[in-house]
């Protein structure tokens, strides 16, 4: 495989057009045999989608209050998370070994973002401090965190690479594996200085040709892989303390709600990633430093366990990245942008719905594989048709849970208007004089026409929901 004259990567010899190739690999997913390249492609595409969502949320946060230090801080954090979720973008296409230098530079950026996220998780206490950490809320600290932490992180990463003797020595080697046909040996290419590894091809004839990249690891690399979930646990406890502090103080309702949202985001990340980190620890204890370069050598009965742990960990990166992105954005934006809390709730609900559906299809496909022909197509029908037919009740159920996590937030003035509106609407009729009184009330409370319409629509919707429950 090489490069075309226009700089675009050429397809593997015998691969054919790229879209049918993707479809073929996705249809061939089989955890029992180790043929998981199609699953890798799915995760790569989902990671790119997650990156786009997180970048969009970061842009919204900056647009709301571009000069506010907390908005700048949170935007930088989401951008760093967006970079981290693209953990295996280099396997989104069967690139040639010419991509190894690009992959090397990307990994430096990935470890930079991992260390930056560690620092930023712990530094959220500057904006939502507990009583014992009030000193972190000083303007000299909180106003400069958004640029100081990236600078400190860059200095530390540069020092690590320099003291280690290079990128490979600091973070591990980089490898490209190419499998052309069942009759040819595997072609292994590595970045200069990478430790030698054994590579092998899945010897199922219909899987050829294919290629993929395998990143190595170092002690520092393993630490930076596991450190963010551990720091998320600490950050969750700090936000819980701040949440309860603000909840007990008068006039701090907004801060309490924001700290609560950050707590949920960190707690969700810590829980999901914690479970998957335990699986990685199990993998290390069971298989040592085994990597994806030689799946064929793993005992057939143990291979599915290894792959479930590996791909579960990769999916958890996407899930937690998306979850904390919505929760953090909700905390920062709900009081700045009209109706943003409702928009975020709907987006998160649909995201959970689509993600759950995709996971269900993959699981059913795995269960049906080997039982009936074209298990992937059958799983899409078995899961997709019921999801389509039952999408409304399923979505509503998911939305109920999301509303609990991201409740509607109103100011005291808005709550006063809702109370007045509920009183005049007690009989279900709004007279001309009542409308005039409400207009005057809205003017006194500083509410514009657009916000009034939203509040009244929200009241009508909530009232309708209550009647349906009865």
pLDDT in tens, 397-429: 777 777 666 666 666 677 788 888 888 887 778
Q: Name the pLDDT band for 374 (thresholds 50, 70, 90).
A: low
**In whole angstroms, what is the distance from residue 396 CA to residue 280 CA?**
34
Percentage of the chain exceeding pLDDT 70? 78
Residue 299 has pLDDT above 70, yes or no: no
pLDDT of 309 reads 78
Residue with more model confidence, 3 or 262: 262
**In whole angstroms, what is the distance from residue 440 CA to residue 308 CA?**
61
**In whole angstroms, what is the distance from residue 357 CA to residue 365 CA?**
12
Q: Which two tokens stand for residue 302?
A: 């143990």
pLDDT of 469 reads 40
Q: Name the pLDDT band for 465 (thresholds 50, 70, 90).
A: very low
* Highest mean predicted confidence (pLDDT) among 236-240, 346-350, 375-379: 236-240
pLDDT of 464 reads 54
DSSP 3: B
HSE at residue 149, side-chain half, CA atoms within 13 A, is 27
Residue 336 has pLDDT above 50, yes or no: yes
pLDDT of 239 reads 93
* Highest mean predicted confidence (pLDDT) among 22-31, 392-401, 404-413: 22-31
Residue 453 has pLDDT above 70, yes or no: yes
Lowest mean pLDDT among 31-35, 113-117, 162-166, 333-337: 333-337
Residue 254 has pLDDT above 60, yes or no: yes
Q: 69 in the Ramachandran plot: left (φ > 0), alpha (ψ -120 to 50) or beta?
A: alpha
Distances (CA, A) of 388 to 122, 332, 348, 356, 366: 42, 34, 18, 13, 21
Average pLDDT (238-263) is: 86
Q: Name the pLDDT band for 272 (thresholds 50, 70, 90).
A: confident
Residue with more model confidence, 394 or 134: 134
pLDDT of 403 reads 65
Give the mean pLDDT of the chain: 79
Lowest mean pLDDT among 214-228, 318-332, 429-443: 214-228
Residue 173 has pLDDT above 50, yes or no: yes
Cβ contacts of 300 within 8 Å, gap of 6 or more: 32
């Amino acid at each position: 495989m090489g490069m075309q004259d226009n700089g675009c990567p050429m397809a593997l010899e015998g691969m054919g057009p790229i879209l049918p190739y993707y479809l073929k690999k996705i249809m061939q997913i089989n955890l029992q045999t180790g043929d998981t390249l199609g699953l890798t492609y799915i995760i790569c595409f989902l990671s790119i989608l997650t990156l786009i969502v997180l970048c969009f949320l970061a842009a919204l946060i900056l647009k709301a209050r571009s000069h506010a230090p907390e908005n700048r801080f949170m935007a930088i954090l989401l951008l760093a998370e967006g970079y981290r979720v693209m953990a295996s973008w280099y396997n989104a296409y069967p690139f040639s070994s010419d991509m190894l230098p690009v992959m090397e530079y990307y990994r430096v950026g990935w470890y930079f973002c991992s260390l930056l996220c560690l620092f930023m998780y712990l530094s959220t206490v500057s904006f939502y401090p507990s009583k014992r950490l009030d000193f972190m809320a000083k303007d000299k600290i909180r106003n400069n965190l958004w640029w100081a932490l990236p600078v400190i992180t860059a200095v530390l990463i540069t020092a690590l690479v320099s003291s280690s003797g290079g990128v490979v020595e600091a973070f591990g080697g980089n490898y490209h594996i190419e499998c052309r046909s069942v009759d040819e040996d595997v072609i292994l290419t590595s970045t200069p200085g990478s430790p030698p590894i054994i590579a092998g091809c899945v010897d199922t004839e219909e899987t050829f040709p294919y290629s993929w990249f395998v990143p190595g690891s170092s002690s520092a690399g393993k630490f930076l892989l596991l450190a963010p979930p551990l720091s998320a646990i600490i950050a969750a406890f700090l936000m819980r303390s701040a949440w309860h502090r603000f909840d007990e103080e008068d006039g701090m309702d907004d801060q309490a709600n924001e700290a609560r949202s950050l707590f949920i985001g960190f707690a969700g990340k810590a829980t999901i990633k914690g479970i998957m980190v335990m699986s990685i620890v199990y993998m290390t204890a069971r298989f040592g430093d085994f990597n994806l370069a030689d799946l064929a050598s793993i005992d057939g009965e143990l291979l599915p366990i290894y792959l479930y742990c590996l791909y579960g960990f990769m999916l958890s990166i996407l899930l937690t990245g998306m979850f904390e992105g919505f929760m953090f954005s909700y905390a920062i934006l709900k009081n700045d942008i009209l109706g943003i809390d409702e928009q975020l709730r709907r987006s998160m609900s649909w995201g959970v719905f689509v993600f759950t559906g995709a996971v269900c299809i993959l699981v059913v496909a795995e269960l049906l594989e080997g039982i009936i022909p074209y298990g992937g197509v059958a799983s899409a029908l078995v899961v997709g048709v019921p999801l389509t037919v039952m999408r409304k009740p399923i979505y509503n159920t998911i939305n109920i849970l999301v509303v609990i996590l991201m409740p509607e937030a109103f100011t005291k003035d808005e709550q006063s208007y809702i109370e007045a509106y509920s009183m005049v609407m007690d009989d279900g009729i709004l007279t001309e004089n009542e409308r005039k009184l409400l207009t005057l009330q809205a003017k006194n409370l500083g509410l514009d026409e657009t916000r009034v319409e939203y509040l009244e629509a929200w009241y009508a919707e909530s009232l309708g929901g209550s009647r349906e429950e009865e």
